[in-house]
């Protein structure tokens, strides 16, 4: 069995995994499929002033599926009753039987890459927690980029992308700017 990557809407990974597993059981195709993996990390998240540990998908919008590639297996995955049909990552036109029907063969991920990722997740080498958590309304100091040295107010936090939308006061006007977590630091009150 080889590993393939499926793309879906971020946040729907678990729902897609369950839908695929249900369909595999329904069609009795367990021999064609192995593990379905959603790499998750534990993160500290600050909500309502309290720190909580939550699981976050390390690759939002993606899941890994182990399967024996065949027309039936591909059609099963493509036929999952889901709001957005899953797409394989790295698809290439090679397989004549499917090519004639408009399907294309996805590129597999080496087993060594999957094992390496699993090992790193288990050992905690991939850390999902950022040392500093940000929340809307906080004041930060921009330490990198054209606005370095400016203070800004956080307008939105995009944790999955590790980005912030901030409002920088320039010439008396609030100007929206998008920054990476690495470009800012917290301002102690």
The residues with which 62 forms a beta bridge, in sequence order, are 7
In CATH, what number does 139-186 get? 2.30.30.30
Between the CA of residue 136 and those of 49, 89, 154, 178, what are the distances in Å? Answer: 12, 34, 5, 13
Cα–Cα nearest to 158, from 5, 16, 10: 10
The contacts of residue 22 (CB under 8 Å, 6+ apart) are none
pLDDT of residue 27: 92
pLDDT band at 83 (very low <50, low <70, confident <90, very high): low
The answer to whether domain 2-123 has CATH 3.40.47.10 is no
Cα–Cα nearest to 152, from 137, 167, 130, 162: 167
Q: Which residue has the higher pLDDT, 187 or 64?
A: 64
Q: Which residue has the higher pLDDT, 8 or 66?
A: 66
The residues with which 113 forms a beta bridge, in sequence order, are none
Q: Which of 54-58, 93-97, 112-116 has the lowest mean pLDDT?
A: 93-97
Phi/psi at 80 (nearest 5 deg)? -60, 125
Average pLDDT of the segment spanning 141-154: 89
Distance CA 75, CA 20 (A): 11
Tell me the H-state helices in the chain: 13-26, 71-78, 96-99, 111-123
Distance CA 75, CA 79 (A): 6
| Contact between 63 and 38 (Cβ < 8 Å) | yes
pLDDT tens digits along 27-80: 999 999 999 999 887 766 666 667 777 777 778 888 999 999 888 898 888 888
Distance CA 20, CA 80 (A): 6
**Which of the 8 DSSP states describes residue 109?**
B
User: How many CB atoms within 10 Å of residue 99?
Assistant: 12
Domain spans of the chain, in order of start: 2-123, 139-186
**50-57 and 2-7 strand pairing:** unpaired
């Amino acid at each position: 069995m080889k590993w393939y990557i499926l793309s879906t809407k971020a946040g729907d990974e678990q729902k897609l995994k369950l839908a695929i597993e249900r369909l595999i059981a329904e069609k009795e195709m367990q021999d064609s499929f192995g593990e379905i993996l959603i790499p998750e990390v534990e993160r500290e998240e600050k909500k309502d002033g309290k720190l909580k540990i939550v699981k976050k998908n390390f690759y939002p919008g993606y899941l890994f599926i182990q399967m024996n590639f065949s027309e039936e297996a591909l059609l099963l995955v493509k036929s999952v009753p889901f709001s957005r049909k899953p797409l394989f990552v790295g698809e290439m036109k090679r397989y004549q039987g499917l090519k004639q029907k408009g399907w294309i063969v996805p590129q597999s991920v080496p087993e060594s890459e999957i094992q390496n990722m699993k090992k790193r997740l288990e050992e905690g080498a991939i850390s999902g927690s950022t040392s500093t958590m940000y929340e809307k309304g906080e004041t930060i100091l921009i330490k990198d980029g054209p606005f370095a040295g400016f203070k800004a107010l956080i307008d939105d936090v995009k944790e999955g992308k590790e980005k912030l939308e901030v409002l920088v006061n320039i010439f008396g006007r609030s100007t929206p700017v998008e920054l990476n977590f690495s470009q800012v630091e917290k301002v102690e009150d």
